[in-house]
Amino acid sequence: SVFDRIKAVEGKVDAYLTLDEENAMKKAAEIDEKLAKGEELSPLAGIPVGIKDNISTKGLRTTCASKMLGNYVPPFNATVMNKLDDIVVTGKLNMDEFAMGSSTENSHFKPTKNPFDTERIPGGSSGGSAAAVAAREAIVTLGSDTGGSIRQPASYCGVVGLKPTYGSVSRYGLVAFASSLDQIGPLGMCVKDVAMVQSAIVGHDKYDATSSYREYPDFAADLKADVKGLRIGIPKEYFGEGIDPFVKQSVMNAVKELEKQGATVKEISLPSTDYALSSYYIISSAEASSNLARFDGVRYGFRAEEYDGLVDMYERTRSEGFGDEVKRRIMLGTFVLSSGFYDAYYKKAKLVQKRIMQEFASQFADVDVIATPTVPSTAFKIGENTDDPLKMYANDVCTVTVNIAGLPAISIPCAYDDKGLPVGMQLIGGKFTEQRLLNTAYAYE
């Protein structure tokens, strides 16, 4: 039925880059057989799941929505794919090229459309992952979040998206954008679906040196709609200028709901929020410039057809293989890391990062959860921000701090505007407090 749905709506939504119906049907039949034999299966066995196209899937094309990896078929699975062994993979989902963007317009192949209004963007970079869930073209999906790429499209598409604590989900096999910020996480129609996927993908992995050894609860089994005594902080910096009044009001109304259920609410301040965007774009671009050096026409994917010697081959391959936004990030990244500018930019950005981490840590001594808008507005029109990178970057103002501080956060739908477009509320927690975040979201839902 999911593939029937894909056939009916995919032409309008364009969420997928690759569909894998034949293998999906085979896998579904295998699961049916196992069921018939009474074999014990995982809770997600047979569930149709769509995968963002920067997560390596053995034998299934993984493009990162880039010409550079247009024909790349990974010889191995990302760890999350091995952990989700029993699922049925529907296909690979569209995204901004190498996860750089906020609208999925930076895909080399095609833009994805918002199922609520196909003239609007679904958000990004996991736009395909959010749109597929919203359009019921998958039951749940995996996305990745470096500066908001799970939460922001979840907000624009009216679905639930969880960005896990840095180090809780293995990044092995996730094509690296900014390794110190990247995390894989789930998107779904409801909190329980997201909790189930999170339970399945979380955990230590010897192939990821940043992966934590901690034990995790079974998030879905332990889900409790109970917020009695929960202390919620409202950071005034996230409700200031640039945030749409309807978005502010909707989030405040949602917080009031939680208050009615027994939570206490107080205003707090995170004063370095103003510097978060600049710091994020410096750190993430610096890491990207290094991570993307591997795409040289020799080791992976695309190589320019005509060239004159090795250096020319590198130059032409990278000039032809990368899109404009990726080039912009590589140039910005190499610039902020260059010897003359390192102290002025990269080092300062890392100091801001430390400050932001400390501010969160000190707030989490007084509050359990911080509530903010996920994005400043509802989904914008396709093409509206493409000529203005700074305007595009401004979309991430509420989400990047979470990655900079390595924290978990969830976006859940909390209202619809007069055009029927969804608004998301973001709940941020201290490190490894996913259960509390999920419980809070579940109580609201």
Is 119 buried (19+), middle (13-18) or exposed (0-12) by CB count in 10 A? exposed
* Least distance in angstroms from the C-beta of 156 to ligand GLN: 12
Kindly tell me which residue out of 48, 101, 115, 128 binds ligand GLN, with binding defined by CB under 6 A. Answer: 101
Q: Is 401 in the site for ligand GLN (CB under 6 A)?
A: no
C-beta closer to ligand GLN: residue 113 or 329: 329
C-beta closer to ligand GLN: residue 146 or 199: 146
C-beta closer to ligand GLN: residue 123 or 158: 123
C-beta closer to ligand GLN: residue 48 or 143: 143
C-beta closer to ligand GLN: residue 17 or 24: 17
Residue 107's nearest CA partner among 53, 182, 51 is 53
Both tokens of residue 296?
A: 């040289």
Beta strands 16-19; 231-235: pairing state: unpaired
* Least distance in angstroms from the C-beta of 381 to ligand GLN: 18
Count the Cβ atoms, other than its own, within 10 Å of residue 140: 25
Separation of alpha carbons 260 and 18, rounded Å: 45
C-beta closer to ligand GLN: residue 48 or 148: 148
* Least distance in angstroms from the C-beta of 284 to ligand GLN: 5
**ω into 42 cis (within 30 of 0):** no
Pattern 343-382, binding to ligand GLN, x per CB under 6 A? ----------------------------------------
Pattern 124-163, binding to ligand GLN, x per CB under 6 A? -x-------------------xxxxx--------------
* Least distance in angstroms from the C-beta of 168 to ligand GLN: 16
Q: Kindly indicate which of the ranges 100-108, 111-119, 309-317, 332-340 contains the residues binding ligand GLN, using the contact rule CB under 6 A.
A: 100-108
Both tokens of residue 74?
A: 């990974």
Kindly tell me which residue out of 2, 6, 100, 292 binds ligand GLN, with binding defined by CB under 6 A. Answer: 100
Beta sheet of 409-416, edge-to-edge order: 16-19, 88-93, 48-52, 140-145, 183-188, 160-163, 409-416, 422-429, 369-373, 231-235, 264-268
* Least distance in angstroms from the C-beta of 31 to ligand GLN: 32
Question: Beta partners for 7?
Answer: none
Q: Kindly indicate which of the ranges 14-22, 95-103, 219-227, 423-431 contains the residues binding ligand GLN, using the contact rule CB under 6 A.
A: 95-103
Q: Is 396 in the site for ligand GLN (CB under 6 A)?
A: yes
Count the Cβ atoms, other than its own, within 10 Å of residue 30: 14
Q: Which residue reads 């954008």 in tokens?
A: 177
Both tokens of residue 311?
A: 């250096």
Separation of alpha carbons 158 and 131, rounded Å: 9
Pattern 278-317, binding to ligand GLN, x per CB under 6 A? ------x---------------------------------
Q: Where are the alpha helices (DSSP H) in 75-229?
A: 79-83, 127-134, 151-156, 191-201
* Active-site residue list: 52, 125, 149
Separation of alpha carbons 356 and 243, rounded Å: 20
Beta strands 231-235; 264-268: pairing state: parallel
Pattern 171-200, binding to ligand GLN, x per CB under 6 A? ------x-----------------------
Separation of alpha carbons 389 and 167, rounded Å: 30
- Of residues 49 through 88, those in contact with ligand GLN by CB under 6 A are none
Q: Which residue reads 């899109």 in tokens?
A: 323
Cα dihedral sign for 184, 188, 193, 195?
A: positive
Q: Kindly indicate which of the ranges 45-53, 99-107, 154-162, 416-424 contains the residues binding ligand GLN, using the contact rule CB under 6 A.
A: 99-107
C-beta closer to ligand GLN: residue 111 or 297: 111
C-beta closer to ligand GLN: residue 393 or 444: 393
Q: Is 122 in the site for ligand GLN (CB under 6 A)?
A: no
Q: How far is CA 185 from the centre of its chain?
A: 7
Name the residues that contact ligand GLN, by CB under 6 A: 99-102, 125, 145-149, 177, 284, 396
